[in-house]
Amino acid sequence: MVLDRARLGRSFAVAGAGLARAWATQPNLRIEVVIGLLALGLAAWLEAPAAPILLACALVLALELMNSAVEAVVDLASPQLHPLAGTAKDLAAAAVLTASIGAVVVGLVVLGPPLLTRVGAWLGAP
């Protein structure tokens, strides 16, 4: 299989445009990016493994992008209110919520013990 560099370049350009549009129009994405960066900063400060935090953040952001895509397609296909349109949007949002809860659990498991150790040392605990 021959690599078509022009096609690959266009694919990356289209994906980049999608990210830029999402950044400009989706406040939840911006909030999730900030929270993810804070979690990664905390991992670095605690010298805790960043890979699980990074993967959890990537999952949340990917699902947020898919949620935005589902909402756009549903709005296009059903501009008027319809129960199935609402169900599709609710389920896509629930996927983001589920991943976000999972990311919090990952954060607690990975960052909790070193944070407690650090706080205990500040408080003079043995």
Containing 47, the helix (H) or strand (E) segment is none
Give the C-alpha separation, 94 to 57, whole Å: 16
The tokens of 10 are what?
């266009």
Contact 106, 53 (CB under 8 A): yes
Give the C-alpha separation, 114 to 85, whole Å: 44
Q: Is 64 a catalytic residue?
A: yes
Each residue of 94-109: b (16+ CB within 10 Å) or e?
A: ebbeebbeebeebbee
Query: Could you say which of 32, 47, 64, 71 is catalytic?
Result: 64
Q: Name which of 42, 38, 34, 88 is nearest 61 in CA terms.
A: 34
Active-site residues, by number, are: 64
